Amino acid sequence: MKNPLEKYEVVIGLEVHAQLLTKSKMFSEAPNQFGANPNEMIGPVCSGQPGSLPIINQTAIDLGVRAGVALHCKIHEESVFARKHYFYPDLPKGYQISQYERPYCTGGYVEFALKDGSTRKINLVRIHFEEDAGKSTHASHGTLVDLNRAGVPLIEIVSEPEMRSSEEAGQYLRKLRSILRYANICDGNMEQGNFRCDANVSIRLHGAKEFGTRVELKNINSFRYVEKAIDYEVGRQADALEQGEKIRQETRGWNATKGVSEIMREKEMAHDYRYFPDPDLPPLVISPQLIQKITTEMPELPDAKRVRFIEEYQLSEYNADVLTNSQELADFYERVAKGSGNAKSAANWVMNELLGRLNAVGKEIDDTPVSAENLALLVKNVDSDKISGKIAKTVFDEMFASGKSPDAIIAEKGLVQISDPAALEAVVKKVIEASPSEVAGYKAGKTKLLGFFVGQVMKETKGQANPGLVNDLVKKHLDG
């Protein structure tokens, strides 16, 4: 179907698994650390040894509560851990400790902007705690199991099926990730699987009241793929409906290489997880005092920061939105703005020059070769007429390439703006003497020729002349 969106409405709900930034695992003292050799970061609890028992990691609970507060959820004073059973080699106990009927958070929402400037608010169903499973690697000689990830604390954030386009899904995820990163809950690294997303996608005719049959999409490990995978799935479902087929309730995996979703399992094969309250763990109690403490200690979150940037730095909505996208970027911008004393100019340099350049070479703000202090210095140099705006771009290029300070580059290359009238006067005289016909033309009333003389002076001075001063001097000599 050429454009399925004309006929069908898309319904998307997202389930996000976010690993919590704790030192140890959810239910044991084993370290929560990525990148170690296989099975080195494990203890008896991780490998499900008989006789081992889970003990709740309070730091994980604190981070979970922080997420609940940041996402405006109702945090329940009592919630219950439950066992979810299935057999798989990377699940050593034969069950995963999760929360089922009584999660610690319900409700809440994520609010974000779309490209057209409108805002959307997506409600959450719940957030619950669970432990991660290990990792299976299927090699030619068999399957290898690494339990380093087994027992890593997770929160699963489940949205209502309220998103209506892949763009909304993408923006929801970006905002959610940004909030979790701001509050130091999760590092948001999608490639390492620290922030994972499953999408429930269905379509229905515009105006229909009933939801269509939903398909669960798994293995989406980048923002780019979220939108691609959803668009592909919407197209696939629309094609199927157009051909008179029924959508089957199934789980599909996104194959990024082929750019298609592939069936993983059908509903008939769905597990009966036999959830029941974990008898090893008493109900989880989260006191109002703890919630109060965590609320008080909450760092500034993206929405609050955006509002502050608009007020404090007189930024446009759009600029404020971009600059608060991540904590690192916002911090970088604030250092440039404060260091230069020119918030507006700082915003332009960061957004138009620096981000554009970083984007072109595929780098993040963390990897910028230009420090905030140096960028602030560059802005100051322009504002104090030490260099012209045009020269500043040349200096920035060099800063981005070498990481040197603007002053060093200006000194090295002799780029300081010439603002000495005596020095410039000689050049102006030289230019006027060399162009008798243009002088005649100017005197005959072609005042537009003023630009010609200024241009020639700038050329003679390799662009270093103070343009305003040159203008004045040329006028003085021609008119005088």
In the bound state with other proteins, the residue whose beta carbon lies nearer, of 53 and 440, is 53
To other proteins, the closest distance from the beta carbon of 31 in angstroms equals 18
To other proteins, the closest distance from the beta carbon of 282 in angstroms equals 6
What single letter denotes the amino acid at residue 14?
L
In the bound state with other proteins, the residue whose beta carbon lies nearer, of 83 and 181, is 83
Binding residue for other proteins (CB under 8 A) from 272, 289, 414, 445?
Answer: 272
Is 268 near other proteins (CB under 8 A)? no
Q: Which residue has the tokens 């990691």?
A: 57
Site for other proteins in 436-465 (CB under 8 A): none
Binding residue for other proteins (CB under 8 A) from 40, 77, 89, 390?
Answer: 89
Is 52 near other proteins (CB under 8 A)? yes
In the bound state with other proteins, the residue whose beta carbon lies nearer, of 54 and 188, is 54
Site for other proteins in 91-150 (CB under 8 A): 92-95, 143, 145
To other proteins, the closest distance from the beta carbon of 271 in angstroms equals 10
Q: Could you tell me which stretch among 3-11, 54-62, 232-240, 250-258 binds other proteins (CB under 8 A)?
A: 54-62
Is 49 near other proteins (CB under 8 A)? yes
257: buried, middle or exposed (CB in 10 Å: 19+, 13-18, 0-12)? exposed
To other proteins, the closest distance from the beta carbon of 52 in angstroms equals 8
Task: Say if residues 174 and 167 touch (Cβ distance below 8 Å).
Answer: no
Query: How many residues sit in the footprint of other proteins (CB under 8 A)?
Result: 29
Binding residue for other proteins (CB under 8 A) from 23, 206, 274, 429?
Answer: 274
Binding residue for other proteins (CB under 8 A) from 15, 17, 34, 48?
Answer: 48
Task: Note the residues at the interface with other proteins (CB under 8 A).
Answer: 44, 47-56, 83, 85, 87, 89, 92-95, 143, 145, 272, 274-276, 279-282
